[in-house]
Amino acid sequence: MLSNEGKNLAKRAEAAHETGDYSLAIEFYKKAEKKFREASEISTDSYETNRLRYLANDYRLKALQLENEYGATESRIEPKKKETPAFDIAGLLNGTGVSEQVFEAVIKIAMEISSEGREGRAIGTAFILGDAANVMAKSKQLILNPFQGYKKEERNITDPEIRDNIKEFAQLDGVFVISGDGVVEAAGRYITMDTGLVKIPRGLGTRHSSVAAMTSATKSIGIVVSQSGGVIRIFRDGKIAATLKP
């Protein structure tokens, strides 16, 4: 198991980073690095040791990046304005049961996938947020669900530690299904719905039409990252509600 102290410190660092309190974020990133490194030194499992070392190095780099960008010696660092998509998030999510925190966490991951790809290549993926029970009923598992068997708190999309796993599994066929409160119910899910009733712009593929169909039949939000061009399209009620370009 990962060090609980390190996990808690990492969460506090990410929270401070998100709100623009960079001095505090740097402090907690460094503390998290120390805890994970200490845990790696006493671990007897080689896989766990490598994972802990990876986390320690990751948080060390995040602290260094903030220090380089904002200066660790400054007594006060001005918060950066929070970057949010240029559309009405509250209106988009109204009636879906999806929290803004969850939506923004998924958008952030989608934007990272759009700009970075995975292992040097562009990838496309999709997320279905909210109304998870109905979404699961209207889809089927393409592969063994990699999130099955984990506790809910271990697979919440707002947890920074899960981001790399999401990016890794984004290479799989199928979609992610995420509950309104952020629990990742499944990856590699195939939507078993007739897409003939939805109308989307020509040139968009099966991934887009399937997500559109799902949002037309459930109270869910769909987020699709195009492999070609990295454009992110957000679906609600079977239609494109917003588009984010890389």
Q: Using one digit for the tens of pLDDT, what is the confidence trace for 110-146?
A: 998 988 887 778 899 999 999 999 999 999 998 899 9
Closest by CA position to 94, among listed 246, 243, 241: 241
Name which of 79, 88, 32, 83 is nearest 60 in CA terms: 32
Residue 215 region by backbone torsions, left for phi larger than 0, else alpha for psi between -120 and 50, else beta? alpha
Q: What's the whole-number mean pLDDT along residues 71-85? A: 45
With 60 as the cut, is the pLDDT of residue 169 above it?
A: yes
| Structural domains of the chain ordered from first start | 4-70 (1.20.58), 89-244 (3.40.1700.10)
Alpha carbon separation from 134 to 192, 218, 220 (Å, rounded): 12, 7, 9
pTM of the full predicted structure? Answer: 0.66
- Percent of the residues in the chain that have a pLDDT greater than 70, as a whole number: 91
Give the per-residue pLDDT at 3.
60
Q: How confident is the model at residue 210 (pLDDT cuts 50, 70, 90)?
A: very high
Confidence of residue 84 (pLDDT cuts 50, 70, 90): very low
Count other Cβ atoms within 10 Å, centred on residue 168.
13
